[in-house]
Amino acid sequence: MSRIAYFGPAGTFTEQAARRLAAGRELVPMETIPAALTAVRKGEAEMACVPVENSVEGPVTATLDGLAEDSPLVAVAEALLPVHFTVLTRPDVDTIRTVASHPHALAQVRNWLERNLPEATAVAASSTAAAAVAVCDGEYDAAVTAPVAAQTYPLRVLAEGVADVPDARTRFLLLSPPGPQPEPTGADRTSIVASTANRTGALAELLTELASRGINLTRLDARPIKGNFGFYRFFLDFEGHVAEARVGDALAALKRRCDVRFLGSHPRADGVRATVGATATDSDFADATRWVQAVRNGEQA
């Protein structure tokens, strides 16, 4: 049975995403995002599941940096999970004096804690699941966790659907070494990272290569390259699949201009179908290529 490494420990949002994306596989928790990616690069796991962006906090920089460096990995699937926390306590606890969780989770439920557990001290744990373990051990009274933790630990659910921002979502990727892509569905996302010198117009030129081929951008993150001041990496997500003519043509144009790494084409979790610019369908590209060939052959003009 194939192994799927994920950013653990067990009982976190990433485990929930991994269960959805790789049902029935052996899930192996890793301590950090880089460790999950390394497991795939070393062949110790077939694929890795990691978070890539949160609608409130923005991109997960450890994942972006990890995909841009070392040997290439590509996203073959994605999952979108609402960031709703569950608050767990031991059945024997009457008064909640301490609430533990990961610092980022505590930051996302701060208003809820102030309203509902104003007397409790918030304690930082290494993960939402580690907080649940500490509550099981009697170390703290309550834990702010992913919903999946309620199935993992023998704790009582004090509250569900807890979130200061009600429509927060996190997107997760299932990553594998380069290989055959998932089939195009018409509702696909393609991701790349393009590295270019800090030069006037560099980004405008890259985006124009996409726009002129009728490709709609869905996300852009600019990250400085560590230890290489003045150089930026642009993480671009756009509609379409590398198997489609307009996407392949655009990737070739970008490759001429700068350093490009392909990060995968896969179906969108939200199922939104691509808008294809007029004159940018596969048959438009095929017709135009045939015409150029005919011109070269002296058959048309």
Binding site for its own copies (CB under 8 A): 55-59, 61, 103-104, 106-107, 110, 121-126, 198-201, 203-205, 207-208, 210-212, 214-217, 219-222, 224, 275, 277
Which CB atom, from 46 or from 80, has the smaller least distance to its own copies? 80
Two structure tokens written together for 278: 């007029």
Of 46 and 231, the one with the shorter C-beta distance to its own copies is 231
Residue 104 beta carbon to its own copies: minimum distance, rounded to whole angstroms: 6
* Closer residue to its own copies in complex, CB, 221/284: 221
CB of residue 215 to its own copies, shortest distance in Å: 7
From the CB of 86, what's the least distance to its own copies, in Å? Answer: 18
Instruction: Considering the complex, state which of residue 27 and residue 122 has its C-beta at the smaller distance from its own copies.
Output: 122
CB 134, min distance to its own copies, A: 9
Tokens at residue 94, please?
Answer: 């009457």
**Nearest to its own copies of 91, 229 (CB atom):** 229
Nearer to its own copies, 185 or 216 (CB): 216
CB 49, min distance to its own copies, A:
21
Q: How far is the CB of 6 from its own copies (least distance, A)?
A: 20
Number of C-beta neighbours around residue 139 at 10 A? 14
Q: Please state the closest distance from residue 297 (CB atom) to its own copies, in A.
A: 33
DSSP track, the chain = --EEEEESSTTSHHHHHHHHHSTTSEEEEESSHHHHHHHHHTTSSSEEEEEEEETTTEE-HHHHHHHHSSS--EEEEEEEEE--EEEEE-TT--S--EEEE-HHHHHHTHHHHHHH-TTPEEEE-SSHHHHHHHHHTTSSSEEEE-TTHHHHSS-EEEEEEE-SSTT-EEEEEEEESS-PPPPP-SSEEEEEEEEEES-TTHHHHHHHHHHTTTPPEEEEEEEEPTTSTTEEEEEEEEES-TTSHHHHHHHHHHHHHSEEEEEEEEE-TT-PPPPPPTT-SHHHHHHHHHHHHHHHTTS--
Looking at beta carbons only, is 74 or 131 nearer to its own copies? 131
Q: Which residue's structure tokens are 């659907």?
A: 161
